Chains A and B, each alone.
Chain A
Amino acid sequence: MNTKTLHIKNPSKALLVFAKKLREEKQRNKEKLRSEKDLYFPQK
């Protein structure tokens, strides 16, 4: 696989706010999945 890297050092405040939103959304997704685990792995 061909990989390219975009590395932004000292990102702007706007970019950090954007990235923070991405992190929060990921955390919400993971919490939601954990709360639904019994749907996919029913307790025996």
Chain B
Amino acid sequence: MSLEKVVPFVSKGGNEYLIEFKIFKPGIDFDVPIIDVSLVLVNSQAISVELSDLFHLSLIIHQYILENDVVLYYYCDDEEVIRSGRHKMLLPQEYRNRLFGHLFNRINSNGLLREEIVFSGDTNKDIHYISLITAETNEKILESIVKEVYKINDK
């Protein structure tokens, strides 16, 4: 089965999303593939998204991890996103990071590990959020990735 695929999803309000799973090549080989997951709203019909839609989106991602021995990589980009109430103060990338973590905490994700990586630079553009999710059996691989991040930071 190919590791790369695109899953279309339509929310209850009619919003159309594409979820892409794509092999990510960071320039270093690890024992399992790193898969970049992207979630894109391609057609907006409703301003708000229901919690059940977000839950469904997280289930699609969760199912992919269960079916494939990979490390899932999610970069939280800084493209504007609708944030309501107390979330208006958050940067778009910070909001995406919280949402992603929150959703995975709501589903039955026992047996999975998440490594949240945050870089805090001086400007908003230099604040980055990354999530890595994989099975607990791949804990050593997550540790290897973290070591590589430290190596880059030490350059």
Contact = CB atoms under 8 A, between A and B. Distances in A.
Interface in A17-44: 18-19, 22-23, 25-27, 29-30, 33-34, 36-37, 40-41
A36 B155 CA distance: 39
B16 A41 contact: yes
Interface residues of A, number: 30
Contact of A6 (B113, B116, B133, B155): B116
A41 B6 CA distance: 12
B110 A16 contact: no
B42 to A, nearest CB: 4
15 contacts: A1-B113, A2-B112, A3-B105, A3-B113, A5-B115, A8-B120, A8-B153, A11-B121, A12-B154, A14-B152, A15-B149, A19-B128, A23-B128, A30-B40, A33-B18
